[in-house]
Amino acid sequence: MESPVETSVSYRAPWREIPSFKSIDALLSRVNEAVRAILSGPAAAGELAPLLGHLSARPGKMIRPGLLLLSGRCLGPTTDEHIKIAAIVEMIHHATLLHDDVIDDGQTRRGAATVNRVWGNESAVLLGDFVLSQVFRLVADLDPAVARVIGDTAARVCEGELRQVVHRHNWRLSEDQYLSIITEKSAAFFSGCCRLGALLAGAAQPQIELLARFGLHAGIAFQITDDLLDVVGDERDTGKTPGSDLGKSKLTLAVIHLIEAAGVSARDQVCELLENPRDGIAELKEMLVRYGSLQYTRARALDQVRQAEAALESISAGESRDALVQTAHFMADRTA
């Protein structure tokens, strides 16, 4: 086990790497401070201080809170409730990452050692559970309609994650099945955030549904791209351990396309490489390029962005709507 890393109170603001978040920079800073305040409660004064400090000192890009805030700003004023709910969804995201790193044996997250690498799997799982317990406390005091969206969203995410685990080593997984899985495990979260932003702004139901649809398609684009980065991404850029999907025999869109495009003659070779990805990653990458699988995957992500844009056509034009569109493009363009 490694020695715990130093956790300074100073931190950078990764959300400033997203140009479309410039207009909500101050709001996202408030969200981040709200998360830090919740994670700096009485428990942080004792033995849990190193773990909680390690977590709160490394905020992410806060794409989910950002979408929530921008969705709300499209349709009405931003309130303190937006900040509170944005903090809640970011904490749920924190918890999922802690658990994901255990499942995928992740060693690096946000450019630093993961909690499971430093303190072990038990601590990482229980820290994720602890963060969720703080979420439960906050949700108990919310308006029932808002709490219901949060609960439904969390249930869909867990269902999608379980479905993905069930389909490990399923080299016959279809593109439709893959899209259905990532819609639940990832896109539903983005959709729920956009729904919450619109709901808290007091929008009419048709407008709420349009924002939720935008979030769903943007979220699918995000996950397609995230899965692609697992294969072609550089840890220095992504800040997390690459190859976790391949290492756990999880099929992604690029690999699904490769299995289909390679044809009968090369399909067995591809499946053999997938069974031993650590030894054959270079060869697998070469085949993904040769058969056009990387290009195909990027095109499919961009198609989802176009569908996300279409969902906003009847939303009044303005800075926040433009920022949502720009954010969707950012979510899909990370492999460019």
pLDDT at 9 over 60: no
DSSP letter at 113 equals E
Q: How far apart are CA 243 and CA 264, in angstroms?
A: 25
Q: What is the structure's pLDDT at 3? A: 38
The pLDDT confidence band at residue 247, using thresholds 50, 70 and 90, is low
Domain for residue 123, yes or no?
Answer: yes
- What pLDDT is recorded for position 239? 57
Structure tokens at 301: 């992500």
pTM of the model: 0.91
Mean pLDDT of 78-103: 95
More confident residue, 261 or 237: 261
Alpha carbon 253 to its chain centroid, in Å, reads 17
Return the DSSP state at 301. H
The CA distance from 162 to 258, in Å, is: 24
- pLDDT classification of 154: cutoffs 50, 70, 90: very high
Q: Is the pLDDT of residue 246 over 80?
A: no
Confidence at 273, pLDDT banded by 50, 70, 90? confident
What mean pLDDT is reported for the chain? 89
Whether residue 5 has pLDDT greater than 60 = no
Higher local confidence (pLDDT), 141 or 108? 141
DSSP 183: I
Establish if 3 belongs to a structural domain: no
Residue 309, Cβ density class (10 Å: 0-12 exposed, 13-18 middle, ≥19 buried):
middle
| Overall average pLDDT of the 128-149 stretch | 96
Q: Dihedral of the CA atoms 148, 198, 81, 97 (nearest 10)?
A: 60
* Residue 81 burial by Cβ neighbours in a 10 Å radius (0-12, 13-18, 19+): middle
Confidence of residue 271 (pLDDT cuts 50, 70, 90): confident
pLDDT score for 335: 62
Predicted pLDDT at 41:
73
Asked whether residue 2 is domain-assigned, the answer is no
Contact by Cβ (8 Å): 155, 38: no
Report if residue 113 sits inside a domain. Answer: yes
Distance CA(324)–CA(336), nearest Å, equals 19
Domain membership of residue 9 (yes or no) is no
Q: Could you report the per-residue pLDDT of 205-238, keeping only the tens digit for each?
A: 999 999 999 999 999 999 999 999 888 766 566 5
Structure tokens, 74: 């499209």
Q: How far apart are the first and last CA of the chain?
A: 36
Rounded CA separation 280/197 (Å):
44
Q: Mean pLDDT check: name the lowest of 5-14, 56-65, 234-243, 326-335.
A: 5-14
Residue 142 is classified by DSSP as: S
* pLDDT value of residue 12: 77
Residue by residue, DSSP assigns 90-117 as HHHHHHHHHHHHHHTT--EETTEE-HHH
Which span out of 43-47, 284-288, 308-312, 331-335 was modeled with the highest average pLDDT? 308-312
- Residue 7: per-residue pLDDT: 39
In a domain, residue 1? The reply is no
The amino acid at residue 204 is A
Residue ranges making up the domain that contains 204: 14-330
The Cα-based distances of 19 to 25, 28, 59, 66 in angstroms read 10, 13, 17, 12
pLDDT recorded at residue 274: 81
pLDDT of residue 11: 55
Tell me the C-alpha to C-alpha distance, in Å, between residue 179 and each of 34, 161, 169.
34, 13, 17
What secondary structure letter does DSSP report for 202? T
Cβ proximity of 193 and 89 under 8 Å: yes
Residue 320 CA to residue 201 CA, distance in Å, equals 13
Using alpha carbons, list the distances in angstroms from residue 280 to 99, 259, 270, 317.
27, 15, 10, 49
Q: Residue 145 falls within a domain, yes or no?
A: yes
* Residues in CB range of 256: below 8 A, 6 or more apart: 173, 174, 175, 178
Give the SS3 label for residue 189: helix
Place of tokens 């969902």: 311
CATH code of the domain containing 55: 1.10.600.10
Residue 4 counted as domain residue: no
Report yes or no: 331 and 22 within 8 Å, Cβ to Cβ.
Answer: no
For the CA atoms of 33, 36, 42, 43, the dihedral, rounded to the nearest 10 degrees, stands at: 170
* pLDDT at residue 10 tops 50: no
Helix or strand run (H / E) with residue 112: strand 112-113
Task: Give the total number of structural domains in the chain.
Answer: 1
